Structure 1
Amino acid sequence: MNKSKKIGILSLSLAVVIGAGIPLAHSFGVRVNQTESAPTGIYIVKDLAPKKGEMIEICPPNVEVIQLMNQRGYMQSGMWGNCEDLGVSPLLKPISALDGDVVEITPGQPVKVNGIVLPNTQAMSAIPGYPPGKYIVGQNQFWAFSTYNAGSIDSRYFGPLSIRNIKGNAKPILIKGDISKVSMGVVSND
């Protein structure tokens, strides 16, 4: 067998292994975050009882602002999972507010939870934010705000979510960045 044929067979074999490995890894909860909303890298998603301040994997709601963000190319889709009704990849976000917490949204200001400012949570002017007001988080609901990056797509745009939107807890395995900066200002109820 000549050298170019060996290289071709090796390349094809490698492509098959990688192609089969990605769905297999995904089925075991392995996720790759490529966005700037949280430290980039590899996370493992498991079905655990989520707590305030912890990272979770969620499907955003099928609302107009998410559809707009998807049309503008802000949402990811493809090989890293899917939120079936939207055709977008799930998001990795921290839980910032749970049942009984008070979320305050003021135009041009960062979000407050129970009176505490969450840095980097002001909605961008080019995208309609969630309506201003004070909201008491209902039973079986939560709000998710990432303080890691001011451009994060989270509850500042789509508001509260049902606990059913949670796909699992996301634990960092191999990341680039400081995971503690994702939920700055979030105070646990424990």
Structure 2
Amino acid sequence: MNRVRAIMGLGASALGIGLLAAAAFIGGFRLNLTPSEPLGLWRIEAVDRAITIGDLVFVCPPVTPLFEEARHRLYLAHGLCPGGVAPLIKSVAALPGQYVEIGENVAIDGRTLPSSHVRRIDGAGRPLTPFAGGIVPTGYLYLHSPFVSSYDSRYFGPISETGVLGLARPILIVDP
């Protein structure tokens, strides 16, 4: 009898955790375990205005060979975006029409972007190819994260704003 109770209790607990996780997902809550932004619980909020510089956004990257390689190299977590990756949390650093220059650091319209050192190799010693730079096209955003190990537009270039899921709001984060 005790064994049956234990199995029933375990099953009820698993069901409860599953229902809680489903409710959190439907409510737009996401757990960030990547080094691009602080670890913790975040929420996707609908965008009811034009996206501006400094906005922190959740974005699904496009399914391209570049992002497939990034997934293979484990730069991207597994998730529910197309291509099987998790949404990225990045800050909007440049909008359409702005000029991005890539050197040792990133400059936007001639002004150096803080915390934008461009690495030439990743943590495993593999070469990284930086974005060539240029004008951010209409319908695209240049995304950035101040964390040194972040995989952002320094390496993949501007990304279509059609991939933006919403604004990223921290709910409960671990400050580094």
What is residue 96 of structure 2 aligned with on the other side?
99
Between the aligned partners of 1:124 and 1:39, the Cα distance in structure 2 is 24
| Amino acid aligned to 1:60 | P
Q: Which structure 1 residue ranges, 4+ long, deviate > 3 Å from structure 2?
A: none
What is residue 175 of structure 1 aligned with on the other side?
173
2:123 paired with 1:128: no
RMSD: 1.8
| Amino acid aligned to 1:27 | I
Shift in CA distance, 14/137, structure 1 to aligned 2, threshold 3 Å: same
Structure-1-length-normalised TM-score = 0.81
| Amino acid aligned to 2:153 | S
Q: Secondary structure at the match of 2:85?
A: coil
Between the aligned partners of 2:69 and 2:99, the Cα distance in structure 1 is 27
What is residue 188 of structure 1 aligned with on the other side?
none
Shift in CA distance, 19/52, structure 1 to aligned 2, threshold 3 Å: same
Superposed CA offset, 1:96-153 (max 9, x none): 11123221112xx1212222233144134224323434x2222221100101x21111
Identity of aligned residues (%): 31
| Amino acid aligned to 1:174 | L
What is residue 6 of structure 1 aligned with on the other side?
5
Between the aligned partners of 1:15 and 1:120, the Cα distance in structure 2 is 43
Within 5 Å, give how 1:22-101 maps onto structure 2: 22-48=21-47, 49=49, 50-78=51-79, 82-84=80-82, 86-101=83-98
Instruction: Confirm or deny: 8 A CA contact 2:131 2:153 kept in the other structure.
Output: no
Between the aligned partners of 1:7 and 1:120, the Cα distance in structure 2 is 53
Q: Aligned pairs, how many? A: 169
Instruction: Confirm or deny: 8 A CA contact 2:57 2:91 kept in the other structure.
Output: yes
Q: Per residue, is there more strand in 1 or in 2?
A: 2
Structure-2-length-normalised TM-score = 0.86
What is residue 107 of structure 2 aligned with on the other side?
112
Instruction: Confirm or deny: 8 A CA contact 2:131 2:156 kept in the other structure.
Output: no
Q: Secondary structure at the match of 2:162?
A: helix
Between the aligned partners of 2:62 and 2:117, the Cα distance in structure 1 is 19
| Amino acid aligned to 2:166 | G
Q: Secondary structure at the match of 2:8?
A: helix
Between the aligned partners of 1:131 and 1:38, the Cα distance in structure 2 is 21
Superposed CA offset, 1:63-103 (max 9, x none): 3232112112222114xxx112x111111111111123221
Q: Which runs of 5+ in 1 are unaligned?
A: 179-190
